[in-house]
Chain A
Amino acid sequence: SSELTQDPAVSVALGQTVRITCQGDSLRNNYASWYQQKPGQAPILVIYGKNNRPPGIPDRLSASRSGNTASLTITGAQAEDEADYYCNSRNSDSNRPLFGGGTRLTVL
């Protein structure tokens, strides 16, 4: 399959936990990565592989994968977590990357 599906929008109360999901057949056999994009800024990588965070990314962000679904969990959401989040994986047949459509996270 060549698609990754994300919910367009999700909201969370300040300090609560939220899960952002990404579904697609490619996730059964390939790693996912997650990108955060704030308005007017370039995306940044926040999670890659099993659950790796680049330097500077807070440990309240974590990731998991099960079957055809990858998830990004934010535990104790902060105002600065409000952003668009994109998942990414790979089409195994073509070895070409895929992006999900993005999820806009609102922190209430």
Chain B
Amino acid sequence: EVQLLESGGGLVQPGGSLRLSCAASGFGFSSYAMSWVRQAPGKGLEWVSGISGNGANTFYADSVKGRFTISRDNSRNTMYVEMNNLRGEDTATYYCVRTEIGDYLVLGYWYFHLWGRGTLVTVSS
């Protein structure tokens, strides 16, 4: 079965750190770009970070640049995000998403094909 399973969420104090993991199964993990997309309680979707299939290219939203680090271990079919200096506004459900990136000058795209169930991160004192 094709599946993404997030783990590592929880309650953390402002300024603290957390590492989320995403275990993939049922498909050729290293062939796909991956992303983290988050959703604050009652709010919309916000793309956080992305990584190419071989891990050579990483992308970040301005809101997390310098604080979050995305990585992957293709031998373990697992993606990670290391989150540092967490703020209240980082409180959200974080989804792991299999991604297709078309980096073309015209008619480019980011498609989010397969989503995990998400893991909740709460930043609060």
Interface residues of A (CB under 8 A from B): 29-31, 33, 35, 37, 42-45, 48-49, 54, 86, 88-90, 92, 95-102
Collect the chain B residues with CB atoms within 8 Å of residue A33's CB.
109-112
Structural contact, B108 and A90, CB atoms closer than 8 A: yes
Contact string against A for B residues 35-54, beta-carbon threshold 8 Å, 1 for contact and 0 otherwise? 10100000011110010000
Structural contact, B108 and A96, CB atoms closer than 8 A: no
Decide: A35 near B109, CB < 8 A? Known: A42-B117, A42-B118, A43-B95: no
Surface stretch bound by A, among B8-16, B75-83, B99-107: B99-107
Collect the chain B residues with CB atoms within 8 Å of residue A97's CB.
35, 47, 50, 110, 112
Residue of A nearest to B115 (CB): A42
Collect the chain B residues with CB atoms within 8 Å of residue A90's CB.
108-110
Please count the residue pairs between chain A and chain B whose beta carbons lie under 8 angstroms apart in the complex: 74
Out of B37, B50, B61, B109, name the residue touching A30 (CB < 8 Å): B109
Residue of B nearest to A96 (CB): B59
- The B interface, classified by DSSP as helix, strand, loop or mixed, is strand
The docked-state distance in angstroms from the alpha carbon of A98 to that of B61 is 10
Structural contact, A100 and B109, CB atoms closer than 8 A: no
Structural contact, B112 and A35, CB atoms closer than 8 A: yes
Structural contact, A48 and B109, CB atoms closer than 8 A: yes
**How many Å from the CB of A16 to the closest CB on chain B?**
26
Structural contact, A95 and B44, CB atoms closer than 8 A: no
**How many Å from the CB of A7 to the closest CB on chain B?**
13
**How many Å from the CB of B92 to the closest CB on chain A?**
13
